Amino acid sequence: MKYLILIILLTLSLNAKAEPVPEIADPKLGDIALATYIEGEIVIIYNPNYCNMLGPLICNFFLAHEYGHINLGHILMGTYAAQTDFDADCWAAKNAPILQVQAAYSHFLKKGFMGNWPHGTGDQRAQGLFKCAGF
Ligand SMILES: [Zn+2]
């Protein structure tokens, strides 16, 4: 039983996340998720209410997007330009489980809620996923 739990935890932690960082729920966050520094450590903060609203597949895609920012070094550089956001989406499209990417793709096409996303439309974001995931 202990091993089963361990295997489940390992599987969850390997879900699109090369190097997991602390993921902190904050219902006051004005966005779905963001990666930042807290006391010198990289963390992801996410809004659990938005996650409940969006469902686990789409929510996890947004977390994968933040892992994209981390793995592409955007957090270290402190750059948050439009291109870094599309690059983080592309990273997530290549690294997240395909079901999450497909869920995010339809969500963007339907112009679903994207949180505090200042760059481009849902269609542009869906197009980017389509190209990067190679469906
Ligand atoms: Zn972003």
CA–CA separation, 97 vs 16, rounded Å? Answer: 7
Expressed in angstroms and rounded, the spacing between residue 8 Cα and the centre of ligand 1 is 28
Would you kindly state where each structural domain of the chain is located, as residue ranges? 16-133
Given a cut of 50, the residues of the chain with pLDDT beneath it are: 5-14
Enter the pTM of the model: 0.84
Query: To 5 degrees, how large is the angle CA 122–CA 61–CA 121?
Result: 10
Expressed in angstroms and rounded, the spacing between residue 30 Cα and the centre of ligand 1 is 14
Q: Which pLDDT score, from 0 to 100, does residue 75 have?
A: 86
Expressed in angstroms and rounded, the spacing between residue 34 Cα and the centre of ligand 1 is 7
Q: Which pLDDT score, from 0 to 100, does residue 10 have?
A: 47
Strand partners for 24: 45
Expressed in angstroms and rounded, the spacing between residue 2 Cα and the centre of ligand 1 is 37
Expressed in angstroms and rounded, the spacing between residue 81 Cα and the centre of ligand 1 is 9
Helix (H, G, I), strand (E, B) or coil at 131: helix
Q: Which pLDDT score, from 0 to 100, does residue 100 have?
A: 98
Q: Which pLDDT score, from 0 to 100, does residue 135 have?
A: 82
